[in-house]
């Protein structure tokens, strides 16, 4: 069934909105339950398609998966896991499934996985993962749509990653946690969701030093125990709602936020001229005041998050002057730019990684298409701003990262509805 959002924009929103658990933390943490035979309980899960798919993949391999609360799941992998029974079709639909590699390698000498799916934001090979695993003695072979792995010669040593890859870092942490000896990972990613995985593994009995830095030392242990773990809130979702408050908020309070996860994002919002107030675990934001043009460059954490760069572009269309956005990470991240142009935005691509935004330009409702999670969220922001009616197609991409976003926005006064063809 094909679904779309219809938004009647230019309405002021007011009220409170809750941030759900982190999608990017849920993926590696669910995968890590494969590292123990004991029961794990994971709380604060976002109820989104990527996470449902990953849970289904675990079940097809033999894991016992039971929902014990609205957002709480009990998982026991035990001795019944068989990678050969993996649902390869579902694995090919979600990017987070790449994390199963790191979870399976310490326990299974030979297995195969299908190519992970996900966003259409340019080539996202797992080259960094494969290069690092090869350094650890893992042998692999690419055959059609599958990668075949052999970990019989697995060793521990110092690894220098070729880029600050979040998922490669998470895969290496999982492999190293159950490998004999010490693995040192230099050039490691240190995003909040990487730190959340380390926290869970430490509570399972792992020995990991350097969380929150770009150098990790992992001393392997013989076994890991079960654990109960609550996911951190999704700072990317929080940043999305903050931006919505900045463009159409009369006064919006975003709850369940860890503000320090958004330090540079909030600093840039302040530079733009957005008015907000931080309390313990919430942020209030107003859509008032003059907006300033800025230069925004996506960088690894603690830099400005690449996933929030598309979100702030509609905001920058209302700044007086020329802004520059720069995303050095992905070559096709600007798919949403063409859709925003249809709505009246004055945006000039300089190259595949940079674009100028000329403001102020009013946006008008149009029929547009979402090509990935964050591009879709960017278009939702634009639709809420625009005069008239905006129709967003291909919203299954948005659903992969945002749980029932339309229902949550309706509660603060947005005129947005989901319709089926």
318, 311, 327, 312: which is closest to 374 by C-alpha?
311
Which tokens go with 32? 């890590």
332 in the same domain as 218? no
What six digits make up the tokens of 252?
Answer: 């919006």
State mean pLDDT over 183-202: 98
> What is the reported pTM?
0.94
Q: What is the mean pLDDT of residues 70-91?
A: 92
Question: Do 275 and 347 belong to one domain?
Answer: yes
Verify that 285 and 161 share a domain, yes or no.
no
What pLDDT is stored for residue 125 in this prediction?
64
Residues 290 and 188 occupy one common structural domain: no
Mean pLDDT, rounded, for 382-402: 96
What is the rounded CA–CA span in Å between residue 19 and residue 31?
Answer: 23
Query: Within this chain, do residues 197 and 133 fall inside the same structural domain, yes or no?
Result: yes
Same-domain pairing of 128 and 269: no
Residues 390, 384: Cα–Cα separation, whole Å: 8
Do both 182 and 273 map to the same domain? no
> From CA 211, how far away is CA 188, in angstroms rounded?
10
> SS3 sequence, the chain?
CCEEEEEECCCCEEEEEECCECHHHHHHHHHHHHHCCCCEEEECCCCCHHHHHHHHHHHHCCCEEEECCCCCEEEECCCCCCHHHCCHHHHCCCHHHHHHHHHHCCCCCEEEEECCCCCCCCCCCCHHHHHHHHHCCCEEEEECCEEEEECCCCCCCEEECCCCCHHHHHHHHHHHHCCCCEEEEECCCCCHHHHHHHHHHHHCCCEEECCCCCEEEEECCCCCCCCEEECCECHHHHHHHHHHHHHHEEEEEEECCCHHHHHHHHHHHHHHCCEEEECCCEEEEECCCCCCCCEEEECCCCCECHHHHHHHHHHHCCCCEEEEEECCCCCCCCHHHHHHHHCCCEEEEEECCEEEEEECCCCECCEEECCCHHHHHHHHHHHHHCECEEEEECCHHHHCCCCCHHHHHHCCCCEEEEEEC
Does residue 405 register a pLDDT over 90?
yes
Which among 54, 37, 36, 47 is positioned nearest to 69, based on CA atoms?
47
Q: What's the rounded mean pLDDT across residues 392-418?
A: 96
Q: Among residues 230, 254, 281, which one ends one of the domains?
A: 230
In this structure, are residues 120 and 373 in contact, taking their beta carbons and an 8 Å threshold?
no
The reply to whether 305 and 253 lie within a common domain is yes
Q: Could you tell me if 153 and 68 lie in one domain?
A: yes
pLDDT at 128: 87
CB 382: neighbour CB atoms within 10 A? 30
Q: What per-residue confidence (pLDDT) applies to 151?
A: 93
Residue 118 has pLDDT above 70, yes or no: no
Question: pLDDT higher for 80 or 296?
Answer: 296
Q: Which of 74-78, 79-83, 317-321, 349-353 has the highest mean pLDDT?
A: 317-321
| Residues facing residue 5 across a β-bridge | 392, 418
The CATH number for 271's domain is 3.65.10.10
Residue 51 has pLDDT above 70, yes or no: yes
Determine what percent of the chain is predicted with pLDDT higher than 90: 85
Question: What's the chain's average pLDDT?
Answer: 94
User: CA of 173: how far to CAs of 67, 135, 220, 367, in Å?
Assistant: 27, 14, 10, 44
What percentage of the chain reaches a pLDDT higher than 70? 97
User: Same domain for 286 and 396?
Assistant: yes
pLDDT for the residue numbered 334: 87
How far apart CA 99 and CA 194 sit, in angstroms, is: 12
CA distance linking residue 302 with residue 7, whole number of Å: 34
Nearest of 257, 193, 248 to residue 30 by alpha carbon: 193
- Average pLDDT of span 172-181: 96
Q: Provide the number of structural domains found in the chain.
A: 2
Structural domain ending residue among the three candidates 230, 246, 272: 230
Question: What is the pLDDT, as a whole number, of residue 289?
Answer: 78
Q: Are 1 and 420 a contacting pair, CB within 8 Å?
A: yes
* pLDDT at site 287: 87
Asked whether residue 288 carries a pLDDT value surpassing 80, the answer given is no
Q: Which residue has the higher pLDDT, 242 or 421?
A: 242
Q: What angle do CA 339, 344, 347 make, to 5 degrees?
A: 70
Domain interval for residue 306: 3-20+233-420
**What are the structure tokens assigned to 210, written together?**
């350097």
Structure tokens at 94: 């979600």
Of 176, 199, 230, which marks where a domain is finished? 230
Work out the average pLDDT over 1-23.
96
Q: Are residues 337 and 360 in the same domain?
A: yes
Q: What is the pLDDT of residue 117?
A: 60
pLDDT in tens, 155-169: 999 999 999 999 999
126 pLDDT band, cuts 50/70/90, is: confident
**Do 102 and 217 reside in the same domain of the chain?**
yes
């Amino acid at each position: 069934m094909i679904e779309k959002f219809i938004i009647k924009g230019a309405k002021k929103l007011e009220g409170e909105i809750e941030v759900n658990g982190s999608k990017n933390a849920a993926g590696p943490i669910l995968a890590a339950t494969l590292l123990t035979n004991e029961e794990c309980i994971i709380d604060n899960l976002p109820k989104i398609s990527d996470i449902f798919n990953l849970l289904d993949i675990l079940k097809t391999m033999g894991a016992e998966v039971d929902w014990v609360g609205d957002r709480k799941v009990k998982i026991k992998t035990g001795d019944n896991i068989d990678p050969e029974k993996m649902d390869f079709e579902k694995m090919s639909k979600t990017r987070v499934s790449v994390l199963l590699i790191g979870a399976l390698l310490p326990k299974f000498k030979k297995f195969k996985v299908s190519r992970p799916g996900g966003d259409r934001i340019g080539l996202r090979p797992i080259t960094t993962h494969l290069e690092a695993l090869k350094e650890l003695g893992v042998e692999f072979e690419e055959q059609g749509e599958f990668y075949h792995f052999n970990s019989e010669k697995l060793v521990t040593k110092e690894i220098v990653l070729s880029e600050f890859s979040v998922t490669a870092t998470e895969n290496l942490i999982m492999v190293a946690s159950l490998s004999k000896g010490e693995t040192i990972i230099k050039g490691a990613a240190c995003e909040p969701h990487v730190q959340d995985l380390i926290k869970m593994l430490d509570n399972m009995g792992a020995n990991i030093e350097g969380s929150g830095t770009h150098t990790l030392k992992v001393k392997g242990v013989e076994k890991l125990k079960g654990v109960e773990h609550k996911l951190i809130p999704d700072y990317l979702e929080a940043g999305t709602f903050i931006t919505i408050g900045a463009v159409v908020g009369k006064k919006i309070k975003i709850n369940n936020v860890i503000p320090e996860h958004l330090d540079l994002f909030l600093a840039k919002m302040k530079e733009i001229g957005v008015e907000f107030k931080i309390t313990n675990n919430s942020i209030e934001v107003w859509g008032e005041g003059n907006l300033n043009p800025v230069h925004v460059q996506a960088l690894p954490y603690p830099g400005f998050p690449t996933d929030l760069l598309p979100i702030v572009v509609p905001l920058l269309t209302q700044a007086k002057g020329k802004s520059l956005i720069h995303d050095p990470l992905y070559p096709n991240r600007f798919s949403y730019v063409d859709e925003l142009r249809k709505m009246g935005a004055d945006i000039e691509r300089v190259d595949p990684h940079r674009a100028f935004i000329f403001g102020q330009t009013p946006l008008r409702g149009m029929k547009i298409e979402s090509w990935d999670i964050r591009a879709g969220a960017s278009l939702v922001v634009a639709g809420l701003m625009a005069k008239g009616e905006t129709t967003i197609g291909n919203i299954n991409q948005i659903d992969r990262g945002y749980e029932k976003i339309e229902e949550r926005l309706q509660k603060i006064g947005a005129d947005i509805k989901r319709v089926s063809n």
